[in-house]
Structure 1
Amino acid sequence: MQKPTTYQQLQPEDRITIATMRQRGFSVRAIARTLERAPSTIAREVARNTGAGQGYGSHHAQLRAVACRRNARGNSKMHAQSVCWGVVRTMLGWKWSPQQISATLKRVFPHQREFHVSHETIYTAIYAHARGELRRELIACLRHGHSTRLPRSRGTDRRGQIPDMISIHVRPPEVEDRVMPGHWEGDFIKGAGNKSSVGVLVERTSRLVLLARMEDATAASALAAFTAKLNAISAPLRQSLTYDQGKEMTRHAELAANTGVRVYFCDPHSPWQRGTCENTNGLLRQYLPKGTDLSVYSQEQLDAIADSLNTRPRATHHWLSPLQVYAAALASAHQPDTSIH
């Protein structure tokens, strides 16, 4: 049986490679061999993004690709101007539960699938609204009226929950796609007896690693250290941070205010939702073994460890290093759309 073929969209680093090799006079087939892509893929990419009298520009090509992906998705059934959302809002005003609304819509409109929405979709539409009068009005229609959506798998003990968390499920799709740089994942690496820790930040597109020395594992230390590290990053590459529900992020609202970074939280016990950071933590254990006292490392030593990881060639980048990919993304972020890289 023939193995099914798979296809992955061109990544930002692929477009940087195309622009560089085109400048140096390489043929389409040579570029295709380097990127392990079909020549037709490279030919279409170059033709789409080469204007009259201008060469191929990676930054312009990436922006165009992002716009095309966004426009291709279309509006959801529950977008603010849809008839379906209007009907759902009316029923919420009747104090109907999302389950009752979902079942009724399927019964009343059996052949009109544009009105078929699950109760989970309705909950998501409610909690995805920005904080304000409309959000409060919608949540007040629900039976329990919680300000945040509680995880379905929660236990009976809910002490110490992080207030006002924004779920990973309302994170913009371009973060998941790794299309645009500037979106980070974060974590704590704990030392012996959980008495010392090091903060970890990983950029999802380039896999660049930043390490932050922590005085302890408190929310105050996390706020101070992550604020300093994030503010050292150029603003265009400082967009969002995805974290688990560790109590050290209790002051996430202050972190967002200090840095302009939007903070999203993973589901409980779901490490795969921060897979890049989990993989990086495994690499860091070569330098910061489990069971050791991490407080002995200075910030300069942690920076040297990060530099060692950031200069390693990575297969996912066609053997470029995270630092090379990040530097190219940083240069693109400060170039006009028509520039050639």
Structure 2
Amino acid sequence: MDRIKAAHPDLPPADPALRIRARGTLSAPVGRFEPYTRAHEHDGWDIPEETRPLRTEVAIERPRRAITRNDSPDVPFAQSINPYRGCEHGCIYCFARPSHGYLGLSAGLDFETKLIARPEMPEVLERELRSPGYRPQVIAIGTNTDPYQPLEASMGVMRRVLEVLAAFDHPVGIVTRGAGITRDLDILGPMAARGLVHVGVSVTTLDAGLARRMEPRAPVPATRLRVIRALSEAGVPVRVMAAPMIPGLTDHELDAILQAGAGAGARAASMLLLRLPHEVAPLFEDWLRREEPGRADKVLGRLREMRGGQLNDPRFGTRMTGEGFWADLLRRRFHLALRRCQLGQSLPALDLSRFRAPPRPGDQLSLF
């Protein structure tokens, strides 16, 4: 029972009636938009109660639109698609956790266990791509939650999205840590041959034990390197993403991660500093003090030095990189490792010129 107590004073303890296994967090704090809080109180009866396992729940959402527009100045894409809300990978540091608050759900356990699937997304996407006013730009997928989380194996939303994009010859950039992407090599390989796709694979650490505790339902690091190799062998341009780098915990692995990615066939690399927006900061601190108590103060102190004294800095221009001595040192190490591993910072530009709406049954075909 001691192990499920929250270490952070602002987090409520886990429900004692739940058996929590392979989850990133043990807490379900109320979302920041909710007017009420919840707390589990002892009823005074010392009678053993039967516990129940915490299971993943899936709800279905009918999206009104597929493509989300973005105008953030420090994000390299203008539009994106999210086939799922929430992510069963359960990465404790995930910056997307606060997005569950807009659904009235917790950024903690709810984000990992109360998932939203959007099976009608491919049909909505096709309708938007056929709109007379649509102008093609690269669509990014996986920039919020992972499109190849375990749920994709049964739902197949991402595969059908890819089928639509391939039919329209529409360029797409994918970010994932899920091994399920290799299922779709029959689509991705031909798209890559037409200059329509590249993939970023996130490798946060090479330590399988740390990965299992920090990213409990994501593939182990060795599997992610095999994913890079499989994509590369299929002709898909791949970027190894050392993201997020956690100062005092994983930053010493930066060079090794890039070297391993290059050895598996990656052509480019990127690095992002850990971000802890809104509810993620107390959740991550709670995890650190439970799982890495000997390094917790160092990690949090170093992060504050790189974030202007705070655990998070939301300002454009610095939120992805940090500032100060340690942030500059990390960037210099990254650029040196790029040269040593002969990796670029970017992949070849994708081809926008091929985009065209495929004819539907009954359409009048052009003679020219």
Structure holding more helix per residue: 1
Larger radius of gyration: 1
TM over 0.5: no
- State the TM-score, normalized to the length of structure 1: 0.24
- State the TM-score, normalized to the length of structure 2: 0.23
